[in-house]
Chains A and B, each alone.
Chain A
Amino acid sequence: MAIKKESPGDLLQGTLDLLILKSLARGPMHGYGVAEWIHESSQDVLRVEEGALYPALHRLELRGLLSAEWGASENNRRAKYYALTTAGRKQLAEETEYWRRMSGAVARVLQTA
């Protein structure tokens, strides 16, 4: 997976998985919704590339962290809704904890004069 330094809005893969899990913690959602939610809740800083989003969603589904179901969207279109499984919830908790520790550590390093 290509990581382009020049666009700070791109996400590392592990981070993308975490954000997807987090966005689904509120309830089932389709791919478009996940992308939008991440974009909005990061106050327009993070932009999920579709080219990465869908493979990531399917990979998580394959790993059993997400379940998927077809349903009608808010404007009555056929849409694929993803939801967290129990394994997904557990993974989210672990990843969140890990992320907290890492970002805190990185922040502390950066603050050191």
Chain B
Amino acid sequence: MAAERLNRLWRRIKALGKRGQLDRDLEDEVAFHLAMREEKNRQAGIAAQEARYAARRQFGNTSGVKDKTRDLWTFLALETLWQDFTYAVRTITKKPGFATIAVVTLALGIGASTAIFSVIESVLLEPFPYPDARRFFSLEIHDASQNRPGGRVQYVGPEYLDYAEKNHVFDRVIANDSLDVLYDHGDGAERFHGVVITPGTFEFFGMPALIGRVMQPADYEPGAPPVFVLRYKTWVSHFAADPGVLNKSFVLNGAPRALVGVMPPRFAWGNGDLWVPEKPIRSAAPVDGRFPPAWYLIGHLKPGVTVRTAQADLTVLAKQLAKIYPKDYPEHFAVELVSFTDMVVGSFRTTLYLMLAAVAVLLLIGCGNVANLLLARATTREKEFAIRATLGASRWRLVRQLLVESLLLAICGGLLGIGLAWFGLRSLVALVPPDMIAAETVVRLNGPVLFFALALSMTTALLFGLVPALEAARRDLNDPLRDTGKGANGSFRHARLRDAVVVLEVALSLTLLVGAGLLTRSFVALRAVDLGFQPDHVLTARLPLPQDRYKTAKDVTGFYRPLLARIKTLPGVIDVSETSTLPPYGGIPSDIEVKGKTPTEKWNAVFELPSEGYSRVLKTQFLQGRPFTDAEVNDARRVAVINETLARRYLAGENPIGQRIRINNLENFPDPVSDPWFEVIGVVRDLLNDGVHRPIRPEIWIPYTITGSAARGILVRTVGDPLGLLNAVRQEIWSTDRSVAVTLNGRLEDYINSYDYSGPRFTLLLTSIFASVGLILVVTGVYSVVAYATARRTHEIGIRMALGADPGSAIKLVVGAGLRVIGVGIAIGVAGSLAVSRVIAGELWQVSARDPVTIVGVAVLLLLTGAVACWIPARRASNIEPILALRHE
């Protein structure tokens, strides 16, 4: 049987080349038959003329026979498919507007959803190149009395070793700590972000070196020759990817270290530039003038151990440790395991999922639009199909015609969509706020998702192409021929389906617009937050000092005092200050005591170590008292300025000036301050000190000359653009001490932007783009449906106007019908937005997710744009001459 089929195929293929021959042969064969029959008839005594007619009569429809016979020899299905295809191309290009809208709509849906999901996949689902990274967890001690998430994730040496050795739930535990690594490359010092790692780190991640080797157990031992491993990115940027640097010695932090390996591109543990080995020791005391390492612990859960069991086991351990280190554990705490991804990606997760939801809605609106376009178009073509059917086209042929057209649109949309996805992904990656995603993450286009989006839009196109096609095939062929398109009852079911799609589109678009509106209001509110200081025209830089030479307060003062004086004399500089933190982010936390008070719970605050110019550089406002004098700073007097919050919380109803405050943490510093009591000399209006979003903590400023410990930097208020002074400032720093690095430098405003505003801005920008595209799609959707329905009613409108109706009433008729549908959509959309308000609530700041102003505003916007979309075709219809309308076919 198979052999026979093959034979038949072969004969057909042979026939393909001589199509003309086949036609002539058939012609001859039939002619011969007719001639023979005619001759026989004549022989039977029939007159010549009649003999011919009789022969023809008996043969029947000669062309029918020829067609049927010829078809046997051809690849019929393929050839008609080709005909359908060329016909489809012709009909589609005849109405380019329709085709463009459909294709662009599909492409937007496919492109946007693929791009967003690709980001989600790369950032959230598979951000790390390390095997089994899903079972990496960090350990967090969460203070149960604080109602905000997060907690302590770093542990001193002995504490870390206890967790690492005494737990029953991790099979591997490692830890890391950050280290400023100063490297003098000849033109000045440069700071690398060093990551100190514990034994087993490279085994933990299971990644071999790209060149050279990773750390061996012996490298971690005290007294071993110092070595380090370099990150790929740093190798390329600083050493031009030169393999010759391997095994060379570099002077890092004043001591030689050998480079033993370079890691593959995606290895970026701790986002370090380089990694140095260290074995944690059972001592929590400062070593060599440095703070003891604060180990950030990370463990790999044993197979079969759940997060819950692990938390239970570690809680037991933490309770024991809390007795040994009572200072480091809150009274009530919970031990939480935080997945590696959550730790790095954190809040960006909700943002991305929100974007995914928005894009899914967009894709749905797009599909709805295409569906409506196809439905409307199919209805206008009923007559065409009826005529084709009457002329002998089979039902399947008609259905197939519509399917081919839909498929063609879907394919064009798909191809454009792939392009858009690629382009969109590139723009998205450029837009993603820095530090929001893991350093290891590589964002790539996701094949399966692209395929899914393509499949979805193709299905939509086919499905909604098929509905009218089947209907056209089913219905009585004469109906559409009799129906001249006059009156609104043309095809009632299509009209209902179209209206339903519009309702859905309007509802979905409203949800998107409400989201965009809420985010806008939230962002405006965020930008309006009073920082309590003026961040414009301020240059900031962190200056890591070589640890071997800068240990005491005297060392540090010896560097800053001349430096500040030099910078202040630079042209374009208004004022300068030393600072221990970057406002509005933080301060050093400490327990505090106030003389004469015996509170029941622990009191705490953050403190800063500024110089005398601080309040002038940041333009803070004093409510009471005064700032430090130059002399007070120089002499390291025990004076303090406090913020309003501290005064209100701990010194309520008293005059804060003259009060005495003890900052306990200063005793633990590597350069300790004994008996750290300070006298309050001033109170400032609150400055934000925990980011823009979070409430202000009690804060204390004391002269920087008090201790030599803690990281330092400078704040410079400038006349013009702060970046214009960067080089001059750097020169002054290096003429003071060549081995000091200048890092994290830039405009203070830019830092605040990137930490606090870029995330919300990213969400807002994307949501606004999606909402606008959604609105445009919906408006075109409404317009096309109303325009189509109006065209169908031109005749009716003509009659009405001939009978004396004025154009206004015609407009009212059309717009009214359109607005009813839009109104239903808006009602459903408002209900839907209220129902899903929880989804967006986490992204909002000081705006309710059910903000009535936004919802009403968006509803009015949709209603107005919808009305315009209805009004255009309505006006066109009302302008028509009644007599033309009556003749309208």
Which residues of A are in contact with B by a Cβ distance under 8 Å? 30-32, 35, 49-51, 54-55, 58-59, 61-64, 70, 73, 75, 77-80
Tell me the minimal C-beta distance from B108 to chain A in angstroms: 50
User: Hey, what's the 0/1 contact readout for B33-70 against A, CB within 8 Å counting as 1?
Assistant: 10111010000000000000000001111001100110
Given contacts A55-B69, A59-B72, 20 further A-B contacts (CB under 8 A): A31-B32, A50-B33, A50-B58, A50-B60, A50-B65, A51-B65, A51-B68, A54-B68, A54-B69, A61-B11, A62-B12, A63-B4, A64-B7, A64-B11, A70-B25, A77-B35, A78-B28, A78-B32, A80-B28, A80-B32
B-chain residues with CB within 8 Å of residue A73 when the two chains form the complex: 32, 36
A-chain residues with CB within 8 Å of residue B30 when the two chains form the complex: 54
| Cβ of B73 under 8 Å from chain A | yes
| Cβ of B29 under 8 Å from chain A | yes
Contact check, B32 vs A32: say whether CB atoms are below 8 A apart. yes
A67 CA to B64 CA in the complex, in Å? 24
Tell me the minimal C-beta distance from B464 to chain A in angstroms: 36
| Cβ of B8 under 8 Å from chain A | yes
Other-chain residue from A50, A62, A78, A80 in contact with B59 (beta carbon distance below 8 A): A50
Contact check, A62 vs B32: say whether CB atoms are below 8 A apart. no
Contact check, A54 vs B65: say whether CB atoms are below 8 A apart. yes
A62 CA to B5 CA in the complex, in Å? 10
Name A79's closest neighbour in chain B (CB-CB).
B32
Other-chain residue from A35, A50, A62 in contact with B11 (beta carbon distance below 8 A): A62
User: Between A and B, how many residue pairs show CB distances below 8 Å?
Assistant: 66
Other-chain residue from B8, B12, B37, B61 in contact with A51 (beta carbon distance below 8 A): B61
Tell me the minimal C-beta distance from B807 to chain A in angstroms: 58
Name A61's closest neighbour in chain B (CB-CB).
B11
Q: Name the 4 nearest CB pairs between A and B, nearest first.
A: A32-B36, A50-B59, A32-B33, A55-B68
Which residues of B are in contact with A by a Cβ distance under 8 Å? 4, 7-8, 11-12, 25-26, 28-30, 32-33, 35-37, 39, 58-61, 64-65, 68-69, 72-73
Contact check, B72 vs A80: say whether CB atoms are below 8 A apart. no
Contact check, B11 vs A31: say whether CB atoms are below 8 A apart. no
Given the known interface contacts A50-B59, A55-B69, the answer about A63 and B32 at a Cβ–Cβ threshold of 8 Å is no
For B29, B37, B69, B72, which residue has the most chain A Cβ atoms within 10 angstroms? B29
A-chain residues with CB within 8 Å of residue B26 when the two chains form the complex: 54
B-chain residues with CB within 8 Å of residue A70 when the two chains form the complex: 25
Tell me the minimal C-beta distance from B706 to chain A in angstroms: 103
A21 CA to B530 CA in the complex, in Å? 101
Given the known interface contacts A50-B60, A62-B72, the answer about A77 and B32 at a Cβ–Cβ threshold of 8 Å is yes
Name A65's closest neighbour in chain B (CB-CB).
B4
A-chain residues with CB within 8 Å of residue B73 when the two chains form the complex: 58, 62
Tell me the minimal C-beta distance from B110 to chain A in angstroms: 44
A64 CA to B12 CA in the complex, in Å? 12
Contact check, B8 vs A64: say whether CB atoms are below 8 A apart. yes
For this complex, 24 residue pairs linking A to B, each with C-beta atoms less than 8 Å apart, are A30-B33, A32-B32, A32-B37, A35-B33, A49-B60, A50-B33, A51-B59, A51-B60, A51-B64, A51-B65, A54-B30, A54-B65, A54-B69, A55-B65, A55-B68, A55-B69, A58-B69, A62-B12, A64-B8, A64-B11, A77-B32, A77-B36, A79-B32, A80-B32
B-chain residues with CB within 8 Å of residue A32 when the two chains form the complex: 32-33, 36-37
Contact check, B4 vs A64: say whether CB atoms are below 8 A apart. yes
A63 CA to B9 CA in the complex, in Å? 9
Tell me the minimal C-beta distance from B766 to chain A in angstroms: 61
Name A87's closest neighbour in chain B (CB-CB).
B4
B-chain residues with CB within 8 Å of residue A62 when the two chains form the complex: 8, 11-12, 72-73
A55 CA to B58 CA in the complex, in Å? 16
Tell me the minimal C-beta distance from A43 to chain B in angstroms: 17
Name A74's closest neighbour in chain B (CB-CB).
B36
Name B55's closest neighbour in chain A (CB-CB).
A50
A55 CA to B64 CA in the complex, in Å? 10
Tell me the minimal C-beta distance from A78 to chain B in angstroms: 6
A-chain residues with CB within 8 Å of residue B28 when the two chains form the complex: 78, 80
Name A80's closest neighbour in chain B (CB-CB).
B29
Tell me the minimal C-beta distance from A103 to chain B in angstroms: 26
A-chain residues with CB within 8 Å of residue B12 when the two chains form the complex: 62
A30 CA to B30 CA in the complex, in Å? 11
A-chain residues with CB within 8 Å of residue B29 when the two chains form the complex: 30-31, 54, 79-80
Name B62's closest neighbour in chain A (CB-CB).
A50
B-chain residues with CB within 8 Å of residue A58 when the two chains form the complex: 69, 72-73
B-chain residues with CB within 8 Å of residue A61 when the two chains form the complex: 11
A-chain residues with CB within 8 Å of residue B72 when the two chains form the complex: 55, 58-59, 62
B-chain residues with CB within 8 Å of residue A77 when the two chains form the complex: 32, 35-36
Name B5's closest neighbour in chain A (CB-CB).
A63
Name A47's closest neighbour in chain B (CB-CB).
B58
A-chain residues with CB within 8 Å of residue B39 when the two chains form the complex: 75
Given the known interface contacts A50-B59, A78-B28, A80-B32, the answer about A63 and B8 at a Cβ–Cβ threshold of 8 Å is yes
Contact check, A30 vs B32: say whether CB atoms are below 8 A apart. yes
B-chain residues with CB within 8 Å of residue A78 when the two chains form the complex: 28, 32
A61 CA to B36 CA in the complex, in Å? 22
Name B33's closest neighbour in chain A (CB-CB).
A32
A54 CA to B60 CA in the complex, in Å? 12
A59 CA to B33 CA in the complex, in Å? 18
A-chain residues with CB within 8 Å of residue B25 when the two chains form the complex: 70, 80
Tell me the minimal C-beta distance from B13 to chain A in angstroms: 12
Tell me the minimal C-beta distance from A55 to chain B in angstroms: 5
Tell me the minimal C-beta distance from B77 to chain A in angstroms: 16
Tell me the minimal C-beta distance from A26 to chain B in angstroms: 18
Tell me the minimal C-beta distance from A32 to chain B in angstroms: 4
Tell me the minimal C-beta distance from B54 to chain A in angstroms: 13
Tell me the minimal C-beta distance from B71 to chain A in angstroms: 9
Tell me the minimal C-beta distance from A67 to chain B in angstroms: 11
A-chain residues with CB within 8 Å of residue B32 when the two chains form the complex: 30-32, 73, 77-80
B-chain residues with CB within 8 Å of residue A80 when the two chains form the complex: 25, 28-29, 32
